[in-house]
Chains A and B, each alone.
Chain A
């Protein structure tokens, strides 16, 4: 048993050593740095207040439990499938994989956070400190195993449509509840830390350190139970996620774009991972907006639709990546437009849900119609534009659907990249809603016109950019998906090829273009509009009345021109034709 475990741990170490190069090392490094900071914070709690420490460990537990579900299925460096020909009994396989699961950045950082147990023990006495050592190890094992079991359970659920939908609803509800946790504290009149955190499995280690020796035994029993559960689940993990076998309706489209729409709509309804993501976004939006009802406030309810749109867009952030190398078919048919079809399909899946949800809930609360109706088209258009754009520009190479292993949540080897992309999408989609929201807050119904306009513009313009990107860099994107590696040569190498003068001009333009554009241009005109004259260093506010706006406008133009010049110098020449120059 020990030999298998040790071998698997060493195998994982070897894989990790090869995997962490370049961009992935950066992502992992950032993650590790954030983790170390959180661990230090947790250990610090051990010096302050043990109640807070127990609460801290509850948060770590939730991180282990839920993190992998939203970050591409968790750590799968060693897959159970690798060992299926060895004929290992399930328990030994699980034990070996568990040993390997301890090797890695996340367990190491968590062990660091669990040093808080040792600190707490040392402050209480020698015996307590001695108990802290096994408690740390057992507690870490509980974290890792709970994470593995939860991923396995959801993976199993994703084999049937019902399972995919139910787990999507549950995950959405849990995550929304965490986001709105303040409401629950408020509702229960709870001040400080609820006593329940002590009795979660995350608190047992601390209980043991404080002299409740039974907690140590309970931890050990839990580890054994979870190990047995995981072993049982591993034997049921065979084959990839199955598609549903419902009747097939024939494709009736007659045009190329219609064909893309038909293909995408079928994928949305047949791919159970997409079913899961859709119900997750829906459940998240509804629960997030509805949870203030607990304290008798319905003001957030109308926002369920907008939240759903933003979350659904984040789920689709790697649209092209999840289809993998199927991109070759798009490259072989340069006459047809893939992006427009995907946008139409995304809208026809999401817009009806969003519209019904928004209109129904806003009618229920009588709530701010102009603002909600302004946000709806702005966000829908923004998301439909950003989904193809971001997935074409910041593509995270995915695993081809037919090569995915038993974990259906695992669509890519670069889970850090996927998570980053989802957050980027959240932020950008929210931004596309901002102009319409501001216009609605200031001018009421004019906001709706703004929303329709920005939504249409985003959808059309970002789609156009995505289309161009695919046309110009299609072979490079395909290569990234074939090999799973991003080429290092993009802007940087082009920058290295520039002459010294060009470099200087480009760096000045890109580095300082923001100064005329933002403070001297945009901000200054806002100050002028609000009659805030002679304001610190904003030149336009010092001008005579007739010249204030022209000066601000001139600065905006200057800033835009500087950015334009900088980009023009740096941008690669004629990327669409001819051999690459990198």
Chain B
């Protein structure tokens, strides 16, 4: 399939979604080159999660379509979804299973062989330091542990694209360093990653491509250097999405003596 070898890892064409008469995503076009580490940044409510949900087939767009390595997410879901691993933000898991059981269950659902699943689950649990909680059910996990088991499920079937919604939120610094190492290794091995975050420093540190999303539109996209244009990403970001020139206001009743 030549289309999939040269196609971008993720291509969004004119994606739009309206909730209760409010346009949450306003005809987003986006191209994530194959092999790139792509950061999606934007203020709260900009439409990052909605866009990513539509990109991987978890939310049906009003118009537009999404392709993963050239396979349309809606008309060829089996091919597209086999190529992508997803870490959504705040969705439930099979809560009454242990971490290892979740991975076994999902591996089998993905059609992997039993011994492959067992081997990969063992390795993932060890690397993400979840093997200490062998008897703990996912419902009893802390927020950080939930992120880690979510990442493990996204990696399990060795996808070529990872779509991660806020992967570092509530994760402790030690685990964050582990995750960064895993993600860098994944990209070095030819994989592609799309990651959304509020933390500019993190995106600057990890990503080679960036898109800034604001009010449901793509305000800027390109390589990291193109988007920040000689400034820090934070300055570029505030310049792109902030309405007022005056900057940040203080709370008078907190700062007065």
Contacts and interface: CB of A to CB of B under 8 A. Distances in A.
Interface stretch (A264-272, A497-505, A532-540): A264-272
A191 interface: no
A331 interface: yes
A248 interface: yes
A416 B95 CA distance: 25
Interface residues of B, number: 45
Contact of B101 (A263, A325, A333): A263
Interface stretch (A40-48, A50-58, A516-524, A574-582): A574-582
B59 A259 contact: no
A580 B16 CA distance: 11
Interface stretch (B103-111, B191-199, B238-246): B103-111
Interface in A319-368: 323-326, 328-329, 331-336
A266 B135 CA distance: 13
B60 interface: yes
A339 to B, nearest CB: 13
A254 B63 contact: no
Contact of B134 (A248, A253, A331): A248
Contact of A254 (B95, B105, B114, B139): B114
A475 interface: yes
A579 B61 contact: yes
Given A270-B137, A325-B92, A401-B139, A332 B86 contact: yes
A92 interface: no
A577 B74 contact: yes
Contacts of A251: 101, 104-105, 108
Given A254-B114, A478-B58, A579-B62, A266 B109 contact: no
B94 A263 contact: yes
B98 interface: yes
B94 A329 contact: yes
Contact of A578 (B58, B74, B92, B153): B74
Contact of A336 (B61, B96, B109): B109
A307 B92 CA distance: 33
A154 interface: no
Nearest to B54: A475
Contact of A329 (B57, B64, B93): B93
Contacts of A400: 91-92
Interface in B103-150: 104-106, 108-111, 114, 134-135, 137-140, 146
A482 B104 CA distance: 25
B25 to A, nearest CB: 12
B94 A580 contact: no
B64 to A, nearest CB: 7
A14 interface: no
Nearest to B103: A251
Contacts of A402: 92, 95, 138-139, 146
Contacts of A334: 77-78, 81
A335 B111 contact: yes
Given A260-B109, A266-B96, A577 B75 contact: yes
Contact of B75 (A326, A401, A578): A578
Interface string A231-268: 00000000010110101101101111011101100110
A400 B101 CA distance: 19
Contacts of A245: 135
Contacts of A328: 58, 86, 88, 91-92
Nearest to A264: B94
Interface residues of A, number: 45
Contacts of A258: 108
Nearest to A268: B96
Interface string B212-234: 00000000000000000000000
A159 interface: no
Contacts of B77: 334
B96 A475 contact: no
Contacts of B97: 263, 266-267
A258 to B, nearest CB: 7
A240 B137 CA distance: 13
B65 interface: yes
B202 to A, nearest CB: 25
B62 A329 contact: no
A468 interface: no
Nearest to B115: A254
Given A256-B111, A333-B106, A401-B139, A478 B96 contact: no
Given A250-B101, A475-B58, 17 more contacts: A240-B139, A243-B140, A259-B104, A259-B105, A259-B108, A266-B96, A270-B137, A324-B92, A326-B92, A329-B94, A331-B57, A333-B81, A334-B78, A334-B81, A335-B111, A579-B60, A579-B61
Interface of A: 240, 242-243, 245, 247-248, 250-251, 253-256, 258-260, 262-263, 266-267, 270-271, 323-326, 328-329, 331-336, 400-402, 475-476, 478-479, 482, 577-580
Interface of B: 56-65, 74-75, 77-78, 81-82, 86, 88, 90-98, 100-101, 104-106, 108-111, 114, 134-135, 137-140, 146, 153
18 contacts: A243-B137, A253-B108, A258-B108, A266-B97, A267-B94, A323-B94, A328-B88, A332-B57, A333-B81, A334-B78, A336-B111, A402-B138, A482-B91, A577-B75, A578-B75, A579-B60, A579-B63, A580-B62
3 closest residue pairs by CB, A with B:
A259-B108, A326-B92, A325-B91
